[in-house]
Structure 1
Amino acid sequence: MTWPFDVVPPASLPPGRSVVGDDGRPLPLWISDAPAPAGLWEQLHRAHAQSGLWPLLLSPLSDADPDFRPWLSGELDPDRASDPAEHDPAAVLRAWWEPGEDLEPEDMDEEFEALAPYGAAWPGLAPAATVPDGAADAEARGLAGALQSVKDVRLGLVRAAGGAEALVACGWSGPLNHDNDIAKIAAVLADWERRFGAQVVEVGFDTLQLSVAVPPATLAEALPLAVEHAALCPDQIHQGAGTLTAYAEQLVGSHHWFFWWD
C-alpha cells in the first residue's frame, strides 16, 4: 500500500494508493482501490483530530468510468487554487450573485426572474444558526453511512484541517465552469460549517454532498440560505428546481445538501 503521509496508517485501511496530480507529482491524497468498507469513514472521521487526515467518500464521473475521474486520471491540480484565508465568504458570494457589467438588461431580467423575491442586489448572508456540540460530526457520520448503503464510493484521505480545506489540498476542480479557484468555494463551505454545522462528506467529478447539523426550519429561514446556494451553484436553480422558492422549500428540514455543476 502506497502511503503519502508521515503518520502511521490505521491498521484497518484496505488496499489503496497515493494519488498524483496533473503534473505527475504526488498529492496529499490517498484513495482505496475498492469501495470503502462500511463504518471505516466514520472511524477515520472520529480520529481526524489526532491524525490530521480528513476522510472523503469519492465517486467517479460515471459508474462505468474505468479511470475513476478525476481521482486517478491526473486531473487534480492544487496549484490552480489560491489560499481560502484570502477570501471573505460574503464578498465571494456577493461577486457570484451580482450580475457582471456585460450582462444586458433583458438577460438580467431573465436571470433574476427565477430568483424572486430577490433582485440583482446582493441581500447579504443568511443568519447563523446555533450548532449544538457534536451535532455536525454526528450528521456527517450519519450521511456517510447512508451514502455507502446506496452507492459504491471509495475512501479518500487528505491531510487537511477539514473537508473544505481537503478540496483545495487535493486540487479538486469540480466547479471549474463556475469558478476556477476552488479556494473561493472552500471559503464558503468553511463558513457554512461555522454557521450551520455543514461538513463535506462525498465528492464526485463535479458533485458535492454535505451533511448539515442545523437546517432551516421554515421557508422564511430557507430563502436567504437558498440565495447563498444559488450564488455558489446557479445550476441548482436554473437546471434544477426552476425557482429560488422551489429550491428553498427543499432545504427546509434537510440535513443533506447536494451540489452539481454543469
Structure 2
Amino acid sequence: MDGFPPPYSLPWDLHPLLPGGDGTGRTLPVALQPGRLVVSDKGAGEPAFWLSDGPADYFLWKRLLAEHEQTGFWPLLLGLDGEGDPWATGEVSFEGVTSPADHDPEAVLQEWWYRYVVPGPVDTAPFGAHWPAGRAPATLQRSDPGRHAETFGATLLYDDPSRWRLGLVAASSADSVAAIGWREVANHTTDIAEISAVLRDWERRYGTRVVAIDDGSLHLSVSAPPGKRDEALRVAAEHYAFCPEDTWSTTVALINNEIVPCSGTVLAEYAETLINNKFWIFHWY
C-alpha cells in the first residue's frame, strides 16, 4: 500500500535460529543495524541469537517489539561489560536445557522455596516454613503488556544508551531466556527452562515481559501487578523462591510514597513494594 515501506528480506544471520534453518519468505518490518549471529561456546556450538555490533537503536527495538508476533523474533536488550562479555563471546550454553513445557511452574517454585528460602535468613511470615497454599490469582485489571515493555525499555536506554545491545531470539518473551542459552543462574538451577516455565505463568497472570538481561540480572515489565497486600504477599513468596540470592538489593524502599528502611530479609516488607509496581528486577550471583 502507498505510504508503507516494503518489508525487508530476513537477513541470512537469522535463518539458523529458525526451525530447520529456513527463513525463505520471512521478512522484517525494518532493516537491522549491523550485527552477527552468536553461537554457543559449549557442546556443538548451536546458534543462539543475533546480536547488534553497536548499542541498541531505540526506534529499531521499539518497532521489532511491536511486531514480534508477526516476525517470530523477540527483541531483547542485552547488557555487556567493557569487554563484551558474556554475549559477544558466546558464553551461552544449551547443555542440560529441557523445554519450558516440561515443568509445572508452581511445582518448580515450591521446590525452590524449600531448597533455598526456608533454610535461609528470610522472615517468611505470614507463611512460616510452609509454601503458600495456592498462588495469587491473575490480576483482573489489565493493560497492554507491549506498552509497558516499551516504557521500561525506553527508560533503560535513556539512562545508559551505550550499555545495551540489541538481541533477537526466535522465541516468545518468556522462552527467550532459555532460547539464548543464558547460564548466569547456574547456581540456582542447571536447567534454564525452569526459569522460562515460571515466566510463562507470570506472563499469563501479570502480563510480564522480558525486556532486558544484564549479566546476572533479569528485567521484567509488569502490566498487571498485584494491587492488594494479600495478593502481593503471595507474589513476594514466588519472587523469593524464584531469586532468593538477591531479590532485595537495597536497604530502603518507597512504600506509600514514603522512603522507609527495609532489612532485605522480610517477605512482608518486600511485598509492600510490589503493590502496583510495573517493573520487577532479579539478580543472581
Render the CA deviation track for 1:78-104: whole Å, top value 9, x for unaligned: 23311110100010001001248xx9x
| Residue 258 (structure 1) aligned with residue 281 (structure 2) | yes
State the Cα distance separating 1:11 from its structure 2 match. Answer: 4.0
SS at match of 2:51: strand
Q: Give the CA RMSD over aligned residues.
A: 2.1
Q: CA deviation at 1:192?
A: 0.1
User: CA 1:195–1:238 in 2, change beyond 3 Å: closer, same or farther?
Assistant: closer
d(CA) in 2 for partners of 1:99, 1:235? 12
Equivalents in 2 of 1:169, 1:38: separation in Å?
A: 23
Q: CA deviation at 1:135?
A: 1.3
User: What runs of 5+ residues in structure 2 fail to find an aligned partner?
Assistant: 1-10, 16-22, 251-263
After superposition, give the CA deviation of every residue in 1:41-90 in whole Å (9 maximum; x if it has no partner).
Answer: 12001111111001000002x3x2x1x22212221112331111010001
Mapped to 2, the partners of 1:56 and 1:113 lie a distance apart of 32
Contact 2:122–2:267 (Cα < 8 Å) also in 1: no
Q: Structure 1: any 5+ residue segments left out of the alignment?
A: none
Q: Which residue of 2 aligns with 1:167?
A: 177
Deviations along 1:135-159, one digit per CA (max 9) or x if unpaired, are 1111111111111111221100000
Partner in structure 1 of residue 98 of structure 2 = 82
The residue identity in structure 2 corresponding to 1:141 is E
Change (3 A) 1:75 1:235: same
Higher helix share: 1
**Greater than 6 Å deviation, 4+ residue runs:** none
Give me the TM-score of the superposition, normalised by structure 2: 0.81
Alpha carbons of structure 1 residues 74 and 28: separation in structure 2 relative to 1, 3 Å: closer
Which whole-Å CA distance do the structure 2 matches of 1:80 and 1:69 have between them?
22
Alignment of 1:65-214 (within 5 A): 66=83, 68-99=84-115, 108=119, 111=120, 113-123=122-132, 124-130=134-140, 132=142, 135-151=144-160, 152-160=163-171, 162-214=172-224
Provide the residue aligned with 2:267 in structure 1. 244
What whole-Å deviation, never above 9, does each CA across 1:175-196 have from its counterpart, x for those lacking one?
Answer: 1111111000000001000000
Separation (CA, whole Å) in 1 of partners of 2:146 and 2:138: 18
Helix, strand or coil for the counterpart of 1:199? strand
Pair member with larger Rg: 2
Match of 1:226 in 2: 236
1:52–1:159 contact (8 Å) kept in structure 2: yes
User: How big is the shift at 1:238?
Assistant: 6.8
Q: Could you tell me which amino acid in structure 2 is paired with residue 189 of structure 1?
A: L
Distance in 1 between the 2:189 and 2:202 partners?
18
* CA 1:91–1:125: 2 relative to 1, 3 Å: same
CA–CA distance in 2 between the matches of 1:254 and 1:116?
A: 21
Higher alpha-carbon deviation: 38-47 or 191-200: 38-47
The CA distance in 2 between the partners of 1:4 and 1:97, in whole Å, is 38
Asked which structure has the greater RCO (Cα within 8 Å, sep 6+), the reply is 1
- In 1, the alpha carbon distance for the partners of 2:236 and 2:274 equals 8
Question: Deviation per CA, 1:14-57, whole angstroms, max 9, x where unpaired?
Answer: 11010010136241410101111122212001111111001000
Identity %: 40
Contact 2:247/2:282, CA 8 A, preserved across alignment: no
The TM-score normalised by the length of structure 1 is 0.88
Secondary structure, counterpart of 2:219 in structure 1: strand
Task: Say whether the 8 Å CA contact 1:18–1:26 is kept in structure 2.
Answer: no
Per-residue deviation at 1:221? 2.1
C-alpha separation between the residues in 2 aligned to 1:220 and 1:44? 37
Shift of 1:239: 6.0
Confirm or deny: 8 A CA contact 1:216 1:252 kept in the other structure. Answer: yes
In structure 2, the CA distance between the partners of 1:119 and 1:72, relative to structure 1 (3 Å rule), is same
